[in-house]
Copies of this chain bind each other. A is one copy, B any other.
Amino acid sequence: MHDRILYSYWRSSAAYRVRIALNLKGLEYQQRSVHLVNNGGEQHSTEFKRLNPNQLVPVFVDNGMVLNQSLAIIDYLDETYSDALLVPKSGEARYLIKAMAQDIAVDIHPLNNLRVLQYLSNELHVDEDDKSAWYKHWIATGFEALEQRISVTRGQYCVGNEISLVDVCLMPQMYNAQRFGVDLTSYPNLHDVTTSLGKVRAFIQAAPEQQPDAM
């Protein structure tokens, strides 16, 4: 039995990215669910904090290495298992792809993470309407820029006709945007690319609803 373990939660965007990367590379893994809501948030348990003191998923374990941060995990996978390369090994595109992925993973996602929405409600007493506006504001800010970039770089996928790290980050962010009722008609290129990605088995199998801990 393979010993790769992904500590994951079905609705975590960051864990969803890693699931897509693992599937694209055809790597088997065990999935261990860390329920971010039940039991006061299982990511805060003593056991999980030992794996990741940041108390966030995903955490990936491979060959005894315990690694957090989805982008670091995907770099590890991409540089260790070279099938279905997600970032070119050299050249300008290597860095432009990383930057576009970070436009999503650094500048959109952390602002709309569960712990942030919880802080807005519990500590700042922000009501549901204002919380929804917050959510949509950061999506819109990021997606407007990304739509513009992708209109230049896209083919079938975000950058030409090969799946890249940008696609791996885009799909979970689009899933979240749809879930929170963001109007996506202003982003025709993002919409088209996501439609293409939605037909790829690695993406289908990584979807939140397909996970063993989905409810």
- Which A residues are closer than 8 A to B by beta carbons? 52-56, 65, 67-69, 71-73, 75-76, 79, 90, 92, 94-96, 98-99, 102-103, 105-107, 110-111, 116, 119-120, 123-124, 126, 130, 133-134, 137, 141-142, 144-145, 148-149
Contacts and interface: CB of A to CB of B under 8 A. Distances in A.
A106 B103 contact: no
A205 to B, nearest CB: 24
21 contacts: A52-B145, A53-B148, A53-B149, A54-B142, A54-B145, A55-B145, A56-B107, A65-B92, A65-B96, A67-B95, A67-B99, A68-B99, A69-B106, A72-B95, A72-B96, A72-B99, A72-B102, A76-B94, A106-B106, A111-B116, A123-B130
Assembly of this chain: how many copies?
A: 2
A65 B116 contact: no
A119 B52 CA distance: 30
Contacts of A106: 69, 71, 105-106, 110
A73 B53 CA distance: 27
A72 B54 contact: no
A177 B141 CA distance: 26
Contact of A71 (B94, B98, B145): B98
A93 to B, nearest CB: 10
Contact of A110 (B54, B65, B92, B107): B107
